[in-house]
Amino acid sequence: MIPLRDENPTRTFPFVTIALIVLNGLVFVFELSLGPQVKEAIHRYGVIPYAITHLEDWAVLKTLVTSLFFHAGLMHIAGNMLYLWIFGNNIEDRLGHFRFIIFYLLCGIAASFGHILFAWNSMIPTIGASGAISGVLGAYLLLFPRARILTLLPLFVIWRIVTIDARWFLLFWIFYQILNGSVSFSMTQQGSMGGVAWFAHIAGFFAGMLLLMVFSPKRRKRNG
């Protein structure tokens, strides 16, 4: 399922969401400019589970943040930024601009640790904003379960555009992540998982739900 837009208006302009999309785009252009040297950059700025679990240099912890802005290809960044644009503006609107920045980064860091937990000996760098965006999806599910999502739905060779409640869209999304994570883990030796970081998505999603309780502004009670 591919989300096209949501029917969920905001009250404020999504400065942070747009800034994150622009920053990711600029970093991707930087990656393209590196040519063959991009592999070196990915190893330098991506999260390598072994480097985190066998910490020899505290500076490697910066990759928990820098990895969130690197992507493996055009489809990778396009998909992530589409999800961030559709779902991020409403979470930013609810949390406020500054809270949303911190929320986003913490979700991304939590997602990285979720991946590390299941691949602690892996030397393969992990990159991408999907872990942080998964946290946005988790928060969206709690805040706007009945929001309508215009969705491109593939049915074999037929593609249809339908409108789905956010709760069903996002519950299917997290079920898909858990299913694929379980299958990939059972087929791969523990500690050396590569490919899609399914457990980063799962950890980010549930981190977003938990962090929402901390970052959501308290509403004042009315007198009388």
Active site residues: 130, 201
Crossing angle, helix 74-95 and helix 97-118, to 10 degrees? 130
C-alpha gyration radius of the chain: 18
Q: What angle do CA 24, 136, 119 make, to 5 degrees?
A: 75
The DSSP code for 163 is E
What 3 state SS string does 175-207 have? HHHHHHHHHHHHHCCCCCCCCCCHHHHHHHHHH
